[in-house]
Amino acid sequence: MRATIMHKAGDVRIETVLDAAILHPTDALIRVVRACICGSDLWPYNDMPSDGPARPMGHEAIGRVEAVGAEVRRIKIGDLVIMPFAYSDGSCMFCDEGLQTSCKHGGFFGQPDPGGAQAEALRIPLADGTLYPIDAPGDDTIMASLLTLSDVMGTGHHAALSARVAPGKVAAVIGDGAVGLCGVIAARRLGAERIIILGRHKDRLALARDFGATDVVSERGEDAVERVKALTKGEGAHSVLECVGAESAMATAIGIARPGGAIGRVGVPHYGNVAGGPRSFYDNLHIAGGPAPVRAYIDDLLPDILEGRIEPGRVFDRIVGLEDVPDGYRAMNERTALKVMVRP
Ligand SMILES: [Zn+2]
């Protein structure tokens, strides 16, 4: 089968690899119907060393189940399924608590084991716990939004929950990538009265406004902090959604959070020293967030998509076939595409 393999920074290829197959009785095999390229895929695209092992890419997908192992009970051949970016057994203590990304037997897609979703097919470990069967029309618009439930919409929602967004509050969203934009949708959905988006890309900010952002801040660093303070009577935001993952973004988050406020960070930290510094102490800030348990949020978010209340699929602005995935990486890296969908 054909699959996307990252060799080193700037070197991503579509290659013929061993066909995905059932290895364990709890596995399922899916044919990938839709996949996409994630902002976090751009980190290795920019700095993966050349001396390490190659890596299969892709952790977001909708698939059609082609085979199931002998112990799979809930998932059936022919099911259309959402594949969250982490696999999980659905039965351990952490899964019960809705934190499937900490599952005792779980792990992440886009690794040598179990493989990546930017491919024709993929083995799904712990299929009964991992996959979420959906009964949806094959409609392209709906499919785009459903695909966001495997990562970006669930991640934006996790940022909003971690930042304690609530009715009447001021939320600030750092980052105008797909997760930041989904964070705007989530903040509005949870009732934020004011939503300030921090970003610099004109088209993305226009989409953020469509999704419910009320204010735009395009300054950076200390200037951004001053601007948000000016917009909030000098107080700062109750809720800050950090959707970038750079150290500077976290510094901005701490700078614009109001005393007693909360920061939900969901950008994969691209720095070593993940801590808040003295301001987070003296301002009694709550700092939460991490890899989003998107599996837990599908129940909540799915009806809003199926009934048209939210349209996170609008973050996709380009569709490529599998052979053109490297072009998709290039476009996202050059910021000429916001988020690229893959139709194998
Ligand atoms: Zn578990």
**pLDDT, tens digit only, all 344 positions of the chain:** 999 999 999 999 999 999 999 999 999 999 999 999 999 999 999 999 999 899 999 999 999 999 999 999 999 999 999 999 999 999 999 999 999 999 999 999 999 999 999 999 999 999 999 999 999 777 889 999 999 999 999 999 999 999 999 999 999 999 999 999 999 999 999 999 999 999 999 999 999 999 999 999 999 999 999 999 999 999 999 999 999 988 899 999 999 999 999 999 998 777 666 566 666 766 777 889 999 999 999 999 999 999 999 999 999 999 999 999 999 999 999 999 999 999 99
Å from CA of 293 to ligand 1 middle: 11
Instruction: Please choose, from the candidates 233, 203, 228, 226, the residue with its C-alpha nearest in 3D space to the C-alpha of residue 214.
Output: 228
Distance CA 178, CA 165 (A): 19
Instruction: Please choose, from the candidates 124, 192, 205, the residue with its C-alpha nearest in 3D space to the C-alpha of residue 159.
Output: 192
CA atoms within 13 A on the CB side of 82: 27
Å from CA of 91 to ligand 1 middle: 5
Å from CA of 30 to ligand 1 middle: 21
Distance CA 307, CA 99 (A): 26
Distance CA 200, CA 202 (A): 6
Residues flanking ion ligand 1, Cβ below 5 Å: 88-89, 92, 95, 103
What pLDDT shows up at residue 197? Answer: 98
What pLDDT shows up at residue 147? Answer: 98
Sequence-ordered alpha helix ranges (H) in the chain = 42-47, 93-96, 127-130, 140-147, 152-162, 178-189, 202-211, 221-231, 247-256, 277-282, 294-306, 325-333
Å from CA of 92 to ligand 1 middle: 4
State both tokens at 43.
Answer: 């980190």
What pLDDT shows up at residue 293? Answer: 96
Å from CA of 155 to ligand 1 middle: 19
Å from CA of 166 to ligand 1 middle: 29
Å from CA of 104 to ligand 1 middle: 5
Beta bridge partners of 168: none
Å from CA of 205 to ligand 1 middle: 37
Eight-state DSSP code of residue 52: S
Å from CA of 53 to ligand 1 middle: 28
What are the b/e assignments for 306-321, b being 16+ CB within 10 Å?
eeeebbbbbbbbbbbe
Q: Which amino acid is at 59?
A: H
Sequence-ordered alpha helix ranges (H) in 119-274 = 127-130, 140-147, 152-162, 178-189, 202-211, 221-231, 247-256
What pLDDT shows up at residue 269? Answer: 74
For residue 168, how many other CB atoms are within 10 A of its CB? 9
Distance CA 224, CA 230 (A): 10
Å from CA of 116 to ligand 1 middle: 21
What pLDDT shows up at residue 245? Answer: 84
Q: To the nearest 10°, the Cα dihedral for 181, 46, 264, 287? A: -160
What pLDDT shows up at residue 37? Answer: 98
- Residue 175's alpha-carbon distances to 152, 217, 248, 276, 278, in angstroms, are 13, 10, 11, 19, 24
What pLDDT shows up at residue 312? Answer: 98
Instruction: Please choose, from the candidates 29, 28, 37, 33, the residue with its C-alpha nearest in 3D space to the C-alpha of residue 4.
Output: 37
Instruction: Please state the φ and ψ torsions of residue 296, each to the nearest 5 degrees.
Output: -70, -20
